[in-house]
Amino acid sequence: MPFINPLSFVSSATTTATTAATTSPATTNQKCSTPTFSNGQDAKSGAGSDIQKYRFVEEILNAPDYYCVLNVTKKATYEDIRRAYIKRSRVCHPDKFVPAYPRATESFQLLSLAYETLSDPSSKLMYDLSSNKKQTFNSAQAKNPNDTLQRVLHQLLNEMMDGEFQTMRAFIFALNETNPGMHISEDAVIHIETAFRKMRELFVSTQQYYQVVQFEVMRLYELQQELRTLSYFNIWGRMQLSITMCKVFLQLPIMINIESRQKQRQQIEDDKDEDDDDAQGILGTRIENALKMAVGVLETGERYASHSW
């Protein structure tokens, strides 16, 4: 599934009235329970209270079958299954629990096993034909859940970055034209494109930085799904979501550069045994500063869109 063009909130609003119907979210199994979040928490971002997170872990571990583990129906498509896996992983990922909570690790492993089983047509058929639908978890037989998550994130990043350089350039140009007070220079745009090319090359060659951006990538995916449900005539709502998506997208290379700079500094200290601040990260400070400046502009636009909406 390709990444949604953030400019679609502008171009599609005037095309045809037939596109006004919104896409309904994946139908869920009514037998399965879903997590509840307090008014002060964002269910879409997977940020529930501590008590609710622990309750959610128990709901996953006590689910009667893999469909209820993911909260999908037997008719769920691959995209429905992937969406459910990402949404639930954001809540019960072991890194979300401090101090460490072993049952969260177990629920995350079970989520991965359910995803691996139901996302593959052959294994899904065998599971559906089996007489025992009660989910059973065997850690010795399960794949590494982090490997599963990294593979899914790799797919998402490829979808998000395919052809998005020109889309982001067009989106930034539109913001510059409509809001003179928010201006991102052409030089900054070139730095941004350079950052994403380097980031893509980095993810092709190594997987060491997936953990740094994993929750932001999952957040981007959920924002994308939310944008799909909005009417094309909800221009301000689509603008706000599109700006947020661009902002989060630009934060990915910043996070990677900060992490790589810390590693470089540690290496310099280990090698020289003295304090040295020459480390600039994989992207360099100029590109990082250009990205931060663009994020600041988008945050201004985000506040403006939210007040207007």
pLDDT (average), residues 105-114: 92
Q: Which two tokens stand for residue 293?
A: 């400046």
Q: How confident is the model at residue 180 (pLDDT cuts 50, 70, 90)?
A: low
Q: Residue 153: which domain range?
A: 149-308
Taking the C-alpha atoms of residue 135 and residue 141, their distance in angstroms, rounded to an integer, is 13
Query: Residue 54: which residues within 8 A CB-CB, separation 6 or more?
Result: 101
Q: Which two tokens stand for residue 19?
A: 């596109």
What is the number of domains present in the chain?
2
CATH number at residue 97: 1.10.287.110
Residues 160, 139, single domain; the answer is no
Residues 79, 123, single domain; the answer is yes
The per-residue pLDDT of the chain, averaged, comes to 76
pLDDT (average), residues 144-164: 79
Position 108 pLDDT exceeds 90: yes
pLDDT number for residue 159: 77
Taking the C-alpha atoms of residue 297 and residue 282, their distance in angstroms, rounded to an integer, is 24
Residues 269, 238, single domain; the answer is yes
pLDDT number for residue 141: 55
What would the pLDDT profile of 12-55 be if each residue is shown by its tens digit?
433 333 333 333 344 444 456 555 444 334 444 444 467 888 99
